[in-house]
Structure 1
Amino acid sequence: MTKTELIDAIAAGVDGLTKSKAEQALNVTLSAIMDAVAKGETLSLIGFGTFSKGERGERMARNPRTGEEIKVEAAKTVKFKAGQKFKDAVNQ
């Protein structure tokens, strides 16, 4: 599913909601999720899942082409843990 298809599904699922307003709502929702996680907050959507900020430490890796060892810098990551309703929907 693409973002456009998701917007169409949202607009179709809410009576009287235009695609334009559905797109605005989706964009604001995604922005709020990104802002919260970027600040280090955990965002929980009961039944859907939990978004949080994670960290990956610095490590040594190997270039597969040359075999040379390279240092990979530490990085911040996004973690998502699916909620029970989401897991149940996937496993049906």
Structure 2
Amino acid sequence: MTRQEPIAAVAERYPHLTQQDAEVAVKLILDAVAAAISTGAGVEIRGFGTFKLKEVGARTGRNPKTGEAVAVPATVKTYFKAGKELREGVGR
């Protein structure tokens, strides 16, 4: 799904909104979610899921070609956990 699909869905569902209004609405929501996640706050959208940041500690990995040990630094990754309604809707 691309960004244009939810914009088209909002514009279709709310015909009093122009395509540009729908685009602004979707962009504001996505920007708000991204801003909250970037500050370290979790974002919970009931029925859809939860976005969080998870710290992944430093570790020692292996170069698959040579087998040499390689230091992998600690990172912070975005984690998404699907909500119950989304999981049930997908059928898993």
Q: What's the TM-score bracket when you normalise by the shorter of the two chains?
A: 0.7 to 0.9
Structure 1 segment 1-92 matched on structure 2, within 5 A: 1-91=1-91
Query: What TM-score, normalized to structure 1?
Result: 0.87
Provide the rounded CA distance (Å) in 1 between the counterparts of 2:66 and 2:12: 52
- Structure 1: gaps of 5 or more residues: none
Moved more, 25-34 or 61-70: 61-70
Displacement of 1:65 after TM fit? 2.5
Q: Give aligned-pair identity as a percent.
A: 39
- Structure 2: gaps of 5 or more residues: none
- Kindly tell me the number of residue pairs found equivalent between the two proteins: 92
How big is the alpha-carbon RMSD for the aligned residues of Structure 1 and Structure 2?
A: 1.5
Provide the rounded CA distance (Å) in 1 between the counterparts of 2:14 and 2:50: 24
Partner of 1:2, secondary structure, is coil
Displacement of 1:60 after TM fit? 1.0
Query: What TM-score, normalized to structure 2?
Result: 0.87
Provide the rounded CA distance (Å) in 2 between the counterparts of 1:44 and 1:82: 10
Displacement of 1:67 after TM fit? 2.2
Moved more, 62-71 or 81-90: 62-71
Provide the rounded CA distance (Å) in 2 between the counterparts of 1:33 and 1:45: 10
